[in-house]
Structure 1
Amino acid sequence: MTAQQSSPAQSAAPQDIRVGVIGVGRMGADHVERIARRTKGARVSVVSDYLRETAEKVSATAPGSRVVDTWQEVVAAEDVDAVLIASPGQFHREQVLACIAAGKPVLCEKPLAMNPSDAYDVVLAEREAGHPVVSLGFMRRFDAGYGELKDALEAGDLGTPLLLNCKHRNADVLPGFTDTHMVYDSAVHEIDAISFFLEEPAVSVQTVMPRSTEKAPEGLHDPLLFLFRTASGTVVTDELWVSTDAGYEVRTELVGSLGAATIGQESGLVTTQQADGRWGGTVPADFRPRFAAAYDAEVQAWIAAVADGSNVAPRSATAWDGYVAAAMCEAAEQSLTADGPVEVTLLEQPA
């Protein structure tokens, strides 16, 4: 059944896209609430989670939805036109491949896969399908500030990009958070920003480790700095500090040959972070309130793309973007223990 079709047995309007959601933990539950309450032209029809009790609880918040036992049932369901994947990352490759095989558009939370080889398998499978199917959930691409900076770059207002300076700060992290998590859970967003803003991947990455704050969990270098370079010569810095005891901040500055622009810093406010955990300004506690509007815009744009048959919204991250991010993350992980820059290796992009 295509995204444009609707069963007469369903009470929703014929144009509504029926979304199956795989994984309804914190992020998946947020998406169910988003689709049920704030997304036009869509409704949640089927929900699954490895904890049946969790799935039933979340399904109860989405009128007309039902619960199934396995993610395979979600993909195969006749009352599912498109699939949103919010399960743990180790399952994404297999689940996305199943959606491609079923011909159902899919919005998958990052990562696309756990390594570049598996991510490239998805790229090839989509290429064999002959049409776009996969959108990847790098929601910052739909943030208003990100959009404004992207527009300025495309208009040539800033000239040639010279430097892209990124800052990513968290109040705290979960127990067991390591330098490797710093790459795959935190820096991955700035890594995708390289492709989004500069329209080219990094060709090398180097880790710079300052002395750590005394608040850093044992075994974690915090703060940490990644230094990326692109083939055209743009340098990207990514400063990560994840145990601030304050709030969640994401800032990006683009320095171009004609000027510089910064997003993520509230106008007229100075954010002060203090040793006792107090903070000033309007810094949100975590990523969800900071990027709530971006998540809403991302899902709405995806639904619109599914409805018009293009399946992937303009500016959305694609399967190829997911592969590129995986390759850059792998190099960044290697750079944690390397003496000097590590080369980013990419396979050829299929036509």
Structure 2
Amino acid sequence: MEKVKVGIVGLGRLGRQHAENLAFRISGCELLAVCSVAAEEVEQVQKDWGIKYGYTQFDEMLQNQELDAIFISSPSNFHCEQIVKALNAGFHVFCEKPLGLYLEEALRVQEAVNQQKDKIFMLGFMRRYDKSYQYAKKKIEEGKIGEPIFIRCYGLDPAKAMDEFIQFAKSNYSGGLFLDMAIHDFDLARWYLGVEAKQVWAIGGAYAYPEFSEMNDAETGTALVKFENNKIGIFVAGRNCAHGYHIETEIIGTKGTLRIGTIPEKNRVTVFDEKGAIKECSDGFLERFEQAYLSEAEEFIACIRENRQPAVTVKDGVISTALGYACRESFETGKLVTVQSPIQTPASLI
């Protein structure tokens, strides 16, 4: 087919990165339209990049019959509604994580996706497209560490971005610490362990920034998860990491261990000065996962051109949302929570 013509909604930090990839770095793709509630963002991107169409209303963009696909990078609370609308309008859809902030709406999206089987739907779990995480998956499949039985994940955002985190949490767009931050790690756990979560106990607090307590959220939190076959997951998410953006994953198996990102290095350079020998850390997710964001968008476009479904499915989004929602419930109630199995539960029964 000719180039896949894409319209993107959301031009914030990540949205702009996605838009730039779609516009300049992916063969067989044309960024034809951009949409944001901020008119100045739309105008600037159109002017700088020569984008043909600009919108401040999502529904208006869906009327554009020149488009083939919609790329959703808007705030999380808009995801489910925009996915359903885009699918019903006849478009292929890529959506950033999370699928939704509530299990009920995630299930409705799953129904919509299943009703539009001729359309490509892909969810933005970009770590599956990071070369290091893919390499670890390959080693597990080869039996390098035997049967994987335990996973430990750290997801720590840099403290210097705290003001932004607080404003984001106040907006009610995030869904809380576990749905916003740990959702990637929940997906990785399922991917690596090959089983689903059964029970969770989550705790946390607002230690240096009491503002999070006022929002019934955590600055730093952890979840202990019991998976099928008694496999174990420990997840730590935090917004106050002094040394920078720290994403670390450890998978322990019956015959060995894999670790990814133990030292969150910016690059392979060591700085020697009056402070000693310094390995600088990544500033944030856009820097650390730059390649992965590009690779997942390339895969989405390739799936459309080749008429095949991606490996990351709506089911992955629903199940990870169920686990994230259970963690939030456990954190808020202080109780051990059984993770609801959403796949067998129609949305109409929720």
Question: TM above 0.5, one fold?
Answer: yes
1:113 is paired with a residue whose SS is coil
- Once the two structures are TM-superposed, the CA of residue 214 in structure 1 deviates from its matched residue by 4.2
Relative to structure 1, the CA distance from residue 188 to residue 61 in structure 2 (aligned partners, 3 Å threshold; closer, same or farther) is same
- The residue number in structure 1 matching 2:243 is 246
Q: Structure 1: which amino acid aligns with 2:233?
A: V
1:66-215 to structure 2, matched below 5 A, reads 66-131=53-118, 133-172=120-159, 173=162, 174-175=165-166, 177=169, 181-209=176-204, 213-214=207-208
Indicate the residue corresponding to 2:257 in structure 1. Answer: 260
- Name the SS of the counterpart of 1:243 in structure 2: strand
Match of 1:295 in 2: 293
Per the alignment, in what secondary structure is the counterpart of residue 310 of structure 2? Answer: coil
User: Residue in 1 aligned with 2:20?
Assistant: 33
Q: Which runs of 5+ in 1 are unaligned?
A: 5-14, 271-277
RMSD: 2.7
Gap change, CA 1:240 and 1:78, over 3 Å in 2 = same
Structure 1 residue runs of 4 or more that deviate by more than 6 Å after TM superposition: 267-270
Note closer, same or farther for the CA distance 1:40–1:266 as it changes in structure 2 (3 Å cut). Answer: farther
Cα deviation 1:125-163 (Å, max 9, x = unaligned): 221223453211111111111101111122222211111
2:33 to 25, 46, 49: 46
Query: Structure 1 residues 208 and 94 mapped into 2: Cα distance closer, same or farther (>3 Å)?
Result: closer
Counterpart residue identity of residue 256, structure 2: G
**Superposition TM-score, scaled by structure 2 size:** 0.85
Matched-pair contact (CA < 8 Å) for 2:207–2:219: yes
The code of the aligned residue for 1:175 comes to: I
- TM-score for the superposition, normalised by structure 1: 0.85
- Retained in 1: the 8 A contact 2:45–2:51? no
3-state SS of paired residue (2:8): strand
Moved more, 211-220 or 245-254: 211-220
**Taking structure 1 as reference, are residues 331 and 41 closer, same or farther at Cα in structure 2, changes over 3 Å only?**
same
Superposed CA offset, 1:68-92 (max 9, x none): 3421222231221111011112211
Match of 2:273 in 1: none
Deviations 1:202-236 (A, max 9, x none): 11111244x87546756365542211111121101
**Secondary structure of the equivalent of 1:107?**
strand
Instruction: Give the unaligned 5+ runs of structure 2.
Output: 269-275
For the structure 1 residues 298 and 61, does the alpha-carbon distance in structure 2 shift closer, same or farther, using more than 3 Å as the test?
farther
Query: For residues 257 and 109 of structure 1, what CA distance do their matches in structure 2 show?
Result: 34
Conservation of the 8 A alpha-carbon contact between 2:201 and 2:330 = yes
Compare the two structures and name the one with the higher helix fraction.
2
Aligned position for 1:7: none
The count of aligned residue pairs is: 327
Secondary structure at the counterpart of residue 242 of structure 1: strand
Q: 1:200 to 1:175 in 2, by over 3 A?
A: same
Instruction: Quote the residue 2:272 is aligned against.
Output: none
Asked if 2 retains the 8 angstrom alpha-carbon contact of 1:216 and 1:243, the reply is no
Return the alpha-carbon distance in structure 2 between the equivalents of residues 279 and 141 of structure 1: 32
User: 3-state SS of the aligned residue for 1:60?
Assistant: helix
**2:223 maps to 1:236:** no
2:14–2:286 Cα contact (<8 Å) kept: no
Q: Distance in 1 between matches of 2:288 and 2:338?
A: 33
Q: Deviations over 1:56-106 (max 9, x none)?
A: 112233334321342122223122111101111221111111222123111
Q: Which amino acid letter does the alignment assign opposite residue 111 of structure 2?
A: L
**Structure 1 SS opposite 2:294:** helix
8 Å contact kept, 1:246–1:279: no
Matched residue SS, 1:232: helix
Give distance in 2, aligned partners of 1:335 and 1:117.
18
Per the TM alignment, residue 267 of structure 1 is displaced from its structure 2 partner at its CA by 9.6
Once the two structures are superposed, residues 269-315 of structure 1 have per-residue CA deviations (whole angstroms, 9 ceiling, x without a partner) of 99xxxxxxx994231111110111110111111111111111x333x
Is this contact kept in 1: 2:203–2:330, CA < 8 A? Answer: no
Confirm whether residue 226 of structure 1 aligns to residue 217 of structure 2. Answer: no
